[in-house]
Amino acid sequence: MSSGNPSERFVEAAGLKIEVMSGGSGRPVLVMHHDIGNQGWIPFYEELARDFTVFVPSHPGYGKSARPDWARNVRDIAIVYQSILGALGLERTAVVGLGFGGWIAAEIALGCPHRFDRIVLVGSAGMQPASGEIFDQFIVNTIDYLRTGFANPDDLEKTYGANIDAARLEAWELAREMTTRIAWKPYMFDQAMPYLAATIAAPVMLVHGREDRIVPLGCSERYASLIPGAKLKVIDGAGHFIEAERPTELAASVKAFVAGGR
């Protein structure tokens, strides 16, 4: 049994029922999940929950959160998040954005500069890399996409088991469908991001796996070069799913950064 005592509840935002998982105690940390949806109360959350109250909403249209049929882009989702955070009473919080979730976190920060006091973007999408492309999940199946996201492909099985159950596959499919609806084109970035990133006011730490084959390191490098004072931490040997590959190490970095260290 986990000590974070995670619980699930629903809040209402922009007319949508939104699923929120939370656990732990202390100052709040919001975690923004990947484009495959939230994968339950994972060890990374448990690590964070030792020091923080961890909030993990399922993005609108993902998991058990209702789908906004009208949403066409990530910015629409970020705006719904303002209501979600309001409903959770998170007027000011630290945030950890994972991959695609990092893009949404960045968009929230652009829309409401005072919402976050610390921002950690892990292998974050949303920024077009100076060279290369973000790996296109829509050309391959979900399993191959996930495998590509681990530095060591065997970690896929270690994380999800040898036989992935039907319910998880269906949740991944629902997630993939929602990602199609809002991030099809341009794929996984916003052309305005390089011009707007500089307006992010809170301290930012970018974390990137050196072996990330989904989001090129160039995305984080570009964020780091554009956001004043941003710090970039590259983790050798890690891929895109760092929270699954290095939960303790990533949580330690987040703790140090949120506590004010650099």
Contact range with other proteins by CB under 8 A, out of 6-14, 112-120, 133-141, 239-247: 133-141
- 259 binding other proteins? (CB under 8 A): no
Interaction of residue 166 with other proteins, rule CB under 8 A: yes
Segment interacting with other proteins (CB under 8 A) among 9-17, 31-39, 125-133, 172-180: 172-180
138 binds other proteins (CB under 8 A): yes
Task: Check residue 185 for interaction with other proteins (CB under 8 A).
Answer: yes
- Contact segment (CB under 8 A) with other proteins among 23-31, 95-103, 140-148, 254-262 equals 140-148
For residue 140, state whether it binds other proteins (rule: CB under 8 A): yes
Q: What is the 3-state secondary structure (H, E, C) of the chain?
A: CCCCCCEEEEEEECCEEEEEEEEECCCEEEEECCCCCCCCCCHHHHHHHCCCEEEEECCCCCCCCCCCCCCCCHHHHHHHHHHHHHHCCCCCEEEEEECHHHHHHHHHHHHCCCCEEEEEEECCCECCCCCCCCCCHHHCCHHHHHHHHCCCCCHHHHHHCCCCCHHHHHHHHHHHHHHHHHHCCCCCECCCHHHHHHHCCCCEEEEEECCCCCCCHHHHHHHHHHCCCCEEEEECCCCCCHHHHCHHHHHHHHHHHHCCCC
Among 7, 26, 177, 210, binds other proteins (CB under 8 A): 177
Regarding 157 and contact with other proteins (CB under 8 A), the answer is: no
Task: Report the residue number, 174 or 232, with the smaller CB distance to other proteins.
Answer: 174
Rule CB under 8 A: say whether 91 interacts with other proteins.
no
Binding site for other proteins (CB under 8 A): 138-144, 164, 166, 169-170, 172-174, 176-177, 179-181, 184-185
